[in-house]
Amino acid sequence: MSLFKSVGSAFAVCAIGMLAGCGPESNVGEIHGTVSVDGKPAGNGAIAFTPANGQGPSGGGELVDGKYKCDASLGDCKVEIRIPKVTGTKKLYDTPDSPTQQTFAETLPLRYNEATELRVNIQKGKNEKNWELDSK
């Protein structure tokens, strides 16, 4: 399993854990949709939803072939989308027989993740939001 898949899976498990135990009267809604970059499906990555007011749990999950489905807190949320690419490998230790691991770099501009401008308002029930991003 790649490092990114491990990180993405861990993120998804943590997000689900934070939202667990929510019943029909919960403050969580389901959101699903697609992410495209420059008119093409985004590929694989991660998406996160954080309440804009800082109140409530974050949610999120993996992007698979540009599609996502996860739970998120109701109300206005900041959205972070990450789509890494493999940039090479590095040795884990400074020895000749050291195992290696892949290295990654983010492909999207900061306005879609670290300094996100993306927002969505999550309502009770099922929500759909498709994101059309550009790489520049």
Query: What is the pTM assigned to this prediction?
Result: 0.75
Q: Does some domain include residue 70?
A: yes
- The per-residue pLDDT for 32 is 98
pLDDT, greater one: 8 or 50 = 50
- Please give the Cα distance from 127 to 89 (Å, whole number): 39
What's the mean pLDDT in 16-36?
71
Q: Does some domain include residue 53?
A: yes
pLDDT, greater one: 88 or 18 = 88
Question: In the structure encoding, which two tokens stand for residue 116, read together?
Answer: 């996100």
Alpha helices, DSSP H only, in the chain? 3-19
135 Cβ neighbours under 8 A, 6+ residues apart: 37, 38, 107, 108, 109
Count up the domains in the chain and report the number.
1
Q: What is the domain range of residue 38?
A: 3-19+28-122
Q: Does some domain include residue 11?
A: yes
Per-residue pLDDT band for 26 (boundaries 50, 70, 90) equals confident
- The per-residue pLDDT for 125 is 95
Q: Does some domain include residue 52?
A: yes
- Helices and strands in the chain: count of H runs, count of E runs: 1, 11
Q: Does some domain include residue 109?
A: yes
Supply the CATH number for residue 70's domain: 2.60.40
